[in-house]
Amino acid sequence: MAPTKLQSDKKYNKWIVILSVVVPLVVTLLFGVNLRELGFQVEPLTFLPPIYASVNGVTAIVLIIAVVQIKKGNRANHEKLMKFAILLSVLFLLMYVAYHMTSNSTKFGGEGIIKYIYFFVLITHIVMSVTVIPFVLITYVRAITNNIEKHKKIAKITFPLWLYVAITGVIVYIMISPYYV
């Protein structure tokens, strides 16, 4: 007997939960580890912030194009673009962690209202970047298990969350970039 769509979804639930917890935990732990301060002879990867900010920008564009493709009925292109968006997000994460493990954190130097705007954007970006992980995973699982109706429902939530994270990542970079040393 073939598994139902619900059974197919459920077999991935353990991995969705594990990844949704482990990824933010590992990033948080590694964020606090500076290899240079621990005595490792590594060069600071100070060239990475504009690259990973660009990756966020490309991710936003890819997400938008993917939605346009599915609205046009081009499921194959949509699928390829969504896999690419996931890959870009993983690459961003790897570069972000590598930068913070080799370089000192940059302090925002703005004052007045811009400081509050920056911290609002930064905090919402961080909260949403953690929040979006299970949404992306669930949305992806529902697509690969061909549970299309449920995929569509959650994708309507996942898309704006993920797009917000990608766009605010670029905004945070633009706002802090004058203060990089």
Quote the pLDDT of residue 1. 46
Which CATH architecture describes the domain 20-32+46-179? Up-down Bundle (1.20)
- In whole angstroms, how far apart are CA 53 and each of 6, 49, 74, 143, 177? 37, 6, 29, 28, 10
Of 155, 169, 166, 149, the C-alpha closest to 78 is 155
Mean pLDDT, the chain, rounded, equals 94
Instruction: Say what the pLDDT of residue 3 is.
Output: 61
Per domain, the residue ranges of the chain are: 20-32+46-179
Q: Which residue has the tokens 């929040």?
A: 131
Given a contact cutoff of 8 angstroms between Cβ atoms, the answer to whether 63 and 167 are in contact is: no
- The predicted model scores a pTM of 0.92
In this prediction, residue 10 carries a pLDDT of 79
CA distances from 72 to 22, 68, 98, 132 (A): 36, 6, 38, 25
pLDDT tens per residue, range 28-59 = 999 889 998 899 999 999 999 999 999 999 99
Segment 14-28 shows an average pLDDT of 95
Q: Which of 143, 137, 22, 153 is nearest to 89 (CA)?
A: 137
Kindly tell me if the per-residue pLDDT of 111 is higher than 60. Answer: yes
Residue linked to tokens 């580890």: 33
Sign of CA dihedral 161, 166, 171, 172: positive
Q: Count the helices and strands in the chain (H runs, E runs).
A: 5, 0
